[in-house]
Amino acid sequence: MPQHGYQFFELLVVCLLLSVVAALFFPQLEGIADQEKLQSAARNVVSSLAVARVSAISTNTPVSFLVEEQGTKFSVSAIGASPLQQSLPEGIVFESWPQKNVIFYSRGNSAPSGSFVLKGRRGRLKIIVAASGRIRWERMD
C-alpha cells in the first residue's frame, strides 16, 4: 500500500539543512545591519551639517556644528541661540573631529575645514567639510 506524505526522518533532514544554511548567512545579515546603522548615522550628521550651512546662508548669521567631548552627541546652533542637540545611535561614535567648532558663514563657506570620522562595529566613515562649505562622506575601510 503506497504511503502519502513525508516521513519524520525526511522532515528532520530538511530542518537540519535549513538550520545549517541559516547559520552560514546570519552573521552576514548582522554585518549588513551594522553597516546600515553606520551609514544612517553618517547621513544624519551630513544632513545636520547641511542644515547648519543653509541656515547660515538664509539667516545671514554664523551657525556652528559642535561635537560633544564623549563623541556620542553633536549640536547645531546659530551664534547666540540655544543649540539643537542630537545623539548618535548606540554603538556609533565620533572617532575624530576638528579641534574647533565648524562654523558656517552667510556665504556658505566654513571655517575651519576638516573631517569627522564615525566609527561603528564594522567600519568607519569619514565626513569631509571643505572650506567652500561642500560636505561629503566616504568609506574608510
Q: What is the tens place of the pLDDT at every residue in 12-43?
A: 888 888 888 877 776 666 667 888 999 999 99
pLDDT for the residue numbered 90:
92
Q: Does residue 70 or residue 30 have the better pLDDT?
A: 70
pLDDT of residue 1: 56
Q: Is 77 helix (H, G, I), strand (E, B) or coil?
A: strand
- Max mean pLDDT among 13-17, 69-73, 124-128 falls in 124-128
Tell me the percentage of the chain whose pLDDT exceeds 90. Answer: 64
Span 103-130, mean pLDDT? 94
Q: How far is CA 122 from the centre of its chain?
A: 12
Specify the amino acid at residue 96. Answer: S
* pLDDT at res. 50: 96
pLDDT at 55: 94
75 Cβ partners below 8 Å, 6+ apart?
Answer: 65, 66, 68, 83, 84, 85, 86
Report the pLDDT value the prediction gives residue 11, as an integer from 0 to 100: 83
Q: How many CB atoms lie within 10 A of CB 125?
A: 24
Q: What is the mean pLDDT of residues 107-127?
A: 94
Can you tell me the distance from the alpha carbon of 105 to that of 83, in angstroms, rounded to the nearest whole number?
17
Instruction: Identify the helix (H) or strand (E) that includes residue 56.
Output: helix 8-59
In the chain, the domains with their CATH numbers are 8-139 (3.55.40.10)
